[in-house]
Amino acid sequence: MSQVEDTLKRNLAEVEARIADACRRAGRSRAEVTLVAVTKYADVEACRVLHGLGVSDLGESRPQELWRKAAAIPHARWHLVGHLQRNKIDRTLPVVQLVHSVDSLRLLDALEAEAGKQGRKIEVLLEFNLSGEGAKHGFFAAPGISELAAVLDRLRHVRIRGLMTMAALSKDPEDVRPTFAALRDLRDRLEPMLREDYDVRHLSMGMTNDFEIAIEEGATLVRIGTALFRGLGGLGGLGDLAGAPG
């Protein structure tokens, strides 16, 4: 076994054990939670090895990196978890399974138009900024949720599957619990306002530092990078240097 494979196997086992523990504590089934491996710290080879270990969902934060890695590993289910510029929609649609980070009505409209042009359906999550940090992307909860429901109602090619949020960085992981609970609450309020054929159950929340709390609060997708790719040194990308310590 290569050293990369050895390291990734160990990291994955540790992450899986933590996911399983959190599910058990919350009385949820492991099958309700999808692990999305965020690959922004990893090179293509490390991504390929992790995919080979059975992680079928891979995520990227930058569209160009997504295109590059998805071309190299086309059998993975690719998720875009970072900001999508409108001029990158056309090349992103054909390779992406789920866009987690739709953060404006303008972007929604542009996705609807391009998906129509390409004759595709596209599944997305709406990103909400609930932690009040100015620099981040995302809808704020404030502009009426019923107004949003009206917009979503006229989409034909874009299918909203749920909501996403990023919690504020904090030393104490318990600080993020209200943010995750607020996203779940938002979903519960949005759901009855949408067309009946809409299924908006998904909650994408939780990263290396806070995914256990996210699972306890109802996450269906956790986006984990650092905890999976750490310890690869020069072989797998930035490894321990990148992202927050876990």
Binding site for ligand PLP (CB under 6 A): 38, 40, 61, 81-82, 166, 207-209, 223-227, 243-244
DSSP summary character for residue 157: S
> Shortest approach of ligand PLP to residue 168 CB, angstroms?
13
Would you say 87 and 108 are in contact if contact means Cβ atoms under 8 Å apart?
no
Q: Which two tokens stand for residue 12?
A: 């994955």
Instruction: For ligand PLP, give the closer residue by CB, 160 or 167.
Output: 167
As measured in angstroms, the least distance from the Cβ of 202 to ligand PLP is 14
Pick 83 or 187: Cβ nearer ligand PLP: 83
Question: How many other C-beta atoms can be found within 10 angstroms of the C-beta atom of residue 42?
Answer: 28
- Closer CB to ligand PLP, 60 or 149, in the complex: 60
**Shortest CB 195 distance to ligand PLP, Å:** 28
C-alpha torsion sign, points 137, 142, 143, 146: positive
Q: Which is nearer to ligand PLP, 122 or 207 (CB)?
A: 207
Listing DSSP states for 49-84 in one string gives HHHHTT--EEEESSHHHHHHHHHHSTTSEEEE-S--
When the beta carbons of 147 and 172 are compared against ligand PLP, the nearer one is 172
Q: State both tokens at 207.
A: 């990263």
Taking the complex as a whole, the smallest distance from the CB of residue 153 to ligand PLP amounts, in Å, to 27
> Minimum distance from CB of 33 to ligand PLP (Å)?
15
Element (H, E) at 221: strand 221-224
CA angle 134, 137, 143 (to 5 degrees): 85
Task: Rank residues 19 and 149 by Cβ distance to ligand PLP and give the closer one.
Answer: 19
244 Rama sector, left if φ>0, alpha if ψ -120 to 50, beta otherwise: beta
Q: Closest approach of Cβ 40 to ligand PLP, in Å?
A: 5
For ligand PLP, the nearest residue by Cβ is: 225
